Amino acid sequence: MKACAEAPCKAIITGEHFVVHGAWALAAAVERKVRVEASEAEELAIESEGHRPDDSSEKRLAPVAKVVTKISEELRFNPRVLIRITSHVPEGSGLGSSAATMVAVASALAKLKGMELATSEVARYAMAGETAIHGKASGIDVNICATGGVIMYKMGEEAKKVRFAGSRRFLIVQSGTKRSTRTLIDRVSQMKVKYPGLFAGLADSASFISELAATRLVNGDMQELGRLLTYSHAVLSTVGASTPTLDKLVDLLLALGCYGAKLTGAGGGGSVFAIPREGSTDALITELKSRGYESFQTNVPTGGVRSWLG
């Protein structure tokens, strides 16, 4: 018997980094997915498509083993399973590829063992792998990948689903540079140590911006939401999360007519999240490609993790 699960990746709309320090953040599930198949085996084995089973991939897959161990210990089943991972999410690009993987692993495993887990439980198990990779992660990534749609998230509180009629279109542009979330979290945390008063003020304002951004999103006021994104990028740049390439990309997107743009996720490279003007997305993607940037559009909301027996 085999169980499958698919989890979406994510984009943080506002509040990344500050969420690690207790602020509210707004995040959306994004339509690119990680698929995981789980089946009974002689011993625990983890395979990831596109990676050879050498030492480095063993190290890479160790966080997945942590999720398997945690869930099997707590739910009392044997962890002798084969986990097969196929990802359509670029790694190290701020789109939560590791969170989507961990969520899909927890979900597929529960399905294989005949257990129905609430999405908050799936996120809790997935967090064992996220912490192993990123160190001090807030938990927003695993929560949005598990829940889907759009959420307001604050550490220690139940994620709040943001609901609205219809759908909204965004553009995700790859800067082409991979980076480590852990390094970026450490860099921004040093700003907190250096300027505690200033950082506290910025974290408060990130919460306020996230509330405001959620309202703009619900009302479909994309122009105003865009302004909030561009402002958020400037703040993230101030605390060390941006790079000259990301700043240039944000400027380019604004010059090409987007309502707003910002880095998304940890920054330091990775992706930029932008709001295209109505009817301009296809031309924008072509223009970006001619300048060497890969991009794709995503419709929000999209569903969270789902699992089935196959």
Chain positions 125 to 164 lying near ligand PMV, rule: CB under 6 A, are: 134, 137-138, 140-141
Which stretch in 61-69, 89-97, 161-169, 202-210 sits in contact with ligand PMV by CB under 6 A?
89-97
Contacts (Cβ under 8 Å, ≥6 apart) of 299 = 31, 167, 168, 169, 170
CA distances from 29 to 73, 149, 199, 230, 294 (A): 29, 5, 28, 20, 19
Which stretch in 14-22, 83-91, 275-283, 287-295 sits in contact with ligand PMV by CB under 6 A?
14-22
DSSP H/E element including 121: helix 119-134
In angstroms, rounded to a whole number, what is the distance separating the alpha carbons of residues 100 and 185?
Answer: 19
Q: Minimum distance between the CB of residue 73 and ligand PMV, rounded to whole angstroms?
A: 24
CA distances from 137 to 96, 163, 184, 193 (A): 12, 25, 11, 18
Q: Is 185 in the site for ligand PMV (CB under 6 A)?
A: yes
Q: How many CA atoms lie within 13 A of 147 on its CB side?
A: 22
Specify the DSSP class assigned to residue 100: H
Q: Minimum distance between the CB of residue 146 and ligand PMV, rounded to whole angstroms?
A: 14
Q: Minimum distance between the CB of residue 107 and ligand PMV, rounded to whole angstroms?
A: 19
Q: Which is nearer to ligand PMV, 48 or 189 (CB)?
A: 189
Q: Which is nearer to ligand PMV, 3 or 9 (CB)?
A: 9
Per DSSP, the three-state class of 269 is: coil
Q: Minimum distance between the CB of residue 82 and ligand PMV, rounded to whole angstroms?
A: 27
Beta partners for residue 3, in sequence order: 38, 309
Q: Minimum distance between the CB of residue 114 and ligand PMV, rounded to whole angstroms?
A: 31
Q: Is 305 in the site for ligand PMV (CB under 6 A)?
A: no
- CA torsion 234-236-241-243 (nearest 10°) is -10
Q: Is 19 in the site for ligand PMV (CB under 6 A)?
A: yes
Q: Is 266 in the site for ligand PMV (CB under 6 A)?
A: yes
Q: Which is nearer to ligand PMV, 4 or 214 (CB)?
A: 214
Q: Minimum distance between the CB of residue 5 and ligand PMV, rounded to whole angstroms?
A: 19
Q: Is 16 in the site for ligand PMV (CB under 6 A)?
A: yes
Phi, psi of 173 (to 5 degrees): -115, 130
Q: Contacting ligand PMV (CB under 6 A), which of 8, 13, 17, 72?
A: 17
The single residue listed with the structure tokens 């082409």 is 176
Using CB under 6 A, list all residues that contact ligand PMV: 12, 16-17, 19-20, 94-96, 134, 137-138, 140-141, 181, 185, 265-266, 270
